[in-house]
Amino acid sequence: MRNRIAIVGRLALALSVATVAQCVMYAVPAAMAQSVSQILVEGNQRVEAETVIAYMQVSPGETATPDNIDESIKALFQTGLFSDVRIVRRGGALVVQVEENPLINRVSFEGNSQLEDKVLTNEVELRERVVFTRARAQSDVQRVTALYRRSGYFGARVEPKIIRLDQNRVNLVYEIQEGKSTSIERITFVGNSAFSDGQLRSVITTSESAWWRFFSTTDSYDPDRVTFDRELLRRHYLKHGFADFQVVSANAELARDGESFFLTFTVEEGPQYELEQVTINTGHTTLDPNQLTEVLTVQGGETYDASKVDKSIENITIEAGKAGFAFARVEPTIVRDAENRKLSVSFDIQEGPRVYIERIEIVGNTRTLDEVIRRELRLVEGDAYNRILIDRARRRLTALDFFAKIDIRENPGSAPDKVVIQIYVEEKSTGTINFSVGYSTAEQAIGSISITERNFLGKAQEVRLGTQLSFKRQSLDFSFTEPYFLNRDVSFGVDAFATRTDQKKESSFTNEQIGGGLRLGFRLSEESRIGTRYRFTHRRIDVNNPQDVALAIARSEGTDNISLFGVTYTYDTIDNPLKPTSGFRFELSEDVAGLGGDVFYFSTQAKAFYFMPLFYEGVILKLKGTAGHIQGWNSTRVPVIDRYFKGHSSFRGFERSGVGPRQQNSATGNIDSIGGQTYAIGTVEVTFPLGLPEDFGIEGAVFTDFGTVFNAPERSRPGQRVFDSDQLRASVGAGLLWQSPFGPLRVDVAWPVVKADFDETELIRFGVSTRF
């Protein structure tokens, strides 16, 4: 009996304890689970109470539950405005107690020397007058660390520090320990047999560290660059017939000293394929396969080249567009015969549906105005999509020379018959400082400097200010060009100049000129253009001791005014105006002086250029021809100064004014260049790679210049002997072209192999320019 009473007592005690515990556990939720009379906010300084209340998941008159209280706390934390949030019950009111995150007063960087503050500031997200959170600070640390890694500093350490100020403000300081630059010590390839390691190193952009690469950053490890290198390797192998090629891995191993990387590419080459058959399937179109075959860049029997297949697709698409099939799609079908290592390619043409441009988006132009890019497109929203016009737009944008990269993409629009054109550009510097110097066998030293901005205010306007200072010539010139005058495809320009030229050595006189002019040009077609001009010049010619010089020079002394009208026709199909590899350019200019002023002549000049690639990649043939004739009218001779003087850059191997007629004063023996009224000069030049790594930017050139300058109006007479001959002159030479960190540099060495006895020769010429 007693045992039963004891058991019952123990059960009653346990039940009582459990009941008390249950009441304690649910005391707070029970208190919260009541109707809210009002919401109070405490601890806020900058944030309005109404803003805090707006994020609450419970409102006055509603019941506060653990769930909506928890959701309210989460919503307030997610704003990033608070470092701590607590919600308590005070009678019928709900009290929100917050602790605000501080406001950033200033962001600064310490310890950085390799990367400027401006670069780092653009990388981080936290700015002045932005709320500070530790999560965003850590995110910025990762961003800065990644930026240093891309710059080759893998040992860089970044630590954010805050300095607390009054009014809940802080100064944020990123303390940086940059460490040493981690360069690429060695690049190796595994699995390659068709190409050596050295050949593949010349394909990729990443390079091994070397003492001469002090201006280059390609010898630092950059994961993004390595990814691009994988693509370059793929393109290289596909170009040489390895259709199954793949990069298995690209591993970078940090050296023990932590200052360099060993980069290893593992590749699977696969077999090299030969093209067995190439066909064109025109489908339901009326295109002639035989005519399309003429634009193919691939043919059976040669090694497969994926780049030629892509070029053939582009050519077929363009030809189809010309034939009226603007929406034709060309799909290559490739059939492999792995056993015999042969491929067959069929270009299948389908007449696609009519597609319209829904939207044109331009990305990356931080300086150049959108309208400058749009006016080169010849397309607007709502137009029918035309591949030919897109290709022409890419060429025109390249010709502007404002962008380092241009990528035009066609993305699906909001409907099947709509397309969005996205133009991605990467701007480059458009200002140029040009320096040039020259040296001749006659100890002639010349230097000049000019400053040009080709994209003034982002409007594609060109402004140029140039000066030349030397022992022989001093000049100052200014020009301004508006390419779209009055919002039309008409260019307008203004020129002003002042020069003083000492030609005592060549022609025994000095010449001073001052003047200005206007220019107006317009386009006839995509390839042709007309330019007109007017120029007025006042000049003065001084001759020292006229009795001792050539008679033609003595007669030139004095002042005169020239009023000149001119027109130039240009036809241009060159693929890349900056570095042409194919195409043709022709210029024909006519000038008439004498419609006003006191100098009377007309002149005709023609120039032609032709570029084409030769048998090996990177080898380019350049053919150039120039010719001109000038003739006086109104019973006057052409003044000496207006005639043609050739040499130096216009005829390498000969001095400035070193080719052409001369007149000798028999009494003194002085021989002066008096210029010719007719000239014709041709150039054959081949540029080629020298086998050096591509990042060196060095090419070689061999050339020959040939031609003649003749037809002075003067004739020999007693006391004055004239040397004038239409004899052919020729020179041969070689040069080096270097895309140096200071700008393009060229050095030419030329030897005259055929010349007249009275010609003056020059051995070396060079020039350099740089961008800012």
Read off the pLDDT of residues 497-522 as tens digits, 9 standing for 90 and up. 999 887 777 667 888 999 999 999 99
Q: Three-class SS of residue 103? A: strand
Reading across the β-sheet that carries 260-268, which strands appear in turn? 183-190, 260-268, 246-254
pLDDT value of position 13 = 43
Q: Please report which confidence band the pLDDT of residue 182 belongs to, taking 50, 70 and 90 as the band edges.
A: confident
Using the predicted structure, report yes or no on whether residue 296 has a pLDDT greater than 80: yes
Mean pLDDT of 32-52: 83
The CA distance from 555 to 481, in Å, is 37
Mean pLDDT of 670-684: 93
Helices (H), 403-527: 504-507
The CA distance from 671 to 540, in Å, is 22
pLDDT value of position 246 = 93
H/E/C letters for each residue in 555-605?
Answer: CCCEEEEEEEEEEEEEEECCCCCCCCCCEEEEEEEEEEEEEEECCCEEEEE
Q: Three-class SS of residue 663? A: strand
Q: What are the Cα distances from residue 215, in Å, to 262, 370, 691, 696?
A: 21, 33, 20, 10
Looking at residue 141, its amino acid is V
Better pLDDT: 100 or 626: 626
Would you give the end-to-end CA distance of the chain in angstroms?
Answer: 107
Looking at residue 480, its amino acid is F
Q: Residue 715: CB partners within 8 Å, gap ≥ 6?
A: 722
Using the predicted structure, report yes or no on whether residue 767 has a pLDDT greater than 70: no
- The residues that bridge with 740 in the sheet, in sequence order, are 743
Reading across the β-sheet that carries 356-363, which strands appear in turn? 356-363, 418-427, 403-412
Q: Please report which confidence band the pLDDT of residue 410 belongs to, taking 50, 70 and 90 as the band edges.
A: confident
| Residue 497, token pair as written in the block | 């100049």
11 CA to centre of own chain? 88
Mean pLDDT of 564-589: 90
Q: Three-class SS of residue 704? A: strand
| Per-position b or e across 356-392, b if 16+ CB within 10 A of its CB | ebbebebebbeebeeebbebbbebeeeeebbbebbeb
Using the predicted structure, report yes or no on whether residue 415 has a pLDDT greater than 70: yes
pLDDT tens-digit map of 84-93: 899 998 888 8
Sign for the CA dihedral angle at 634, 638, 641, 646 comes to positive
Mean pLDDT of 554-565: 91
The CA distance from 180 to 257, in Å, is 11
pLDDT value of position 358 = 92
The CA distance from 92 to 95, in Å, is 10
Residue 615 has φ and ψ, to the nearest 5°, of -70, -15
pLDDT value of position 216 = 61
Reading across the β-sheet that carries 103-110, which strands appear in turn? 103-110, 169-177, 157-165
pLDDT tens-digit map of 524-554: 987 899 999 999 999 999 887 787 787 888 8
DSSP state of 375: T
pLDDT value of position 119 = 87
Using the predicted structure, report yes or no on whether residue 605 has a pLDDT greater than 60: yes
Are 94 and 111 in contact by the 8 Å Cβ rule? The answer is no
Mean pLDDT of 439-453: 59
- Mean pLDDT across the chain: 84
Using the predicted structure, report yes or no on whether residue 278 has a pLDDT greater than 50: yes
479 CA to centre of own chain? 24
Using the predicted structure, report yes or no on whether residue 589 has a pLDDT greater than 90: yes
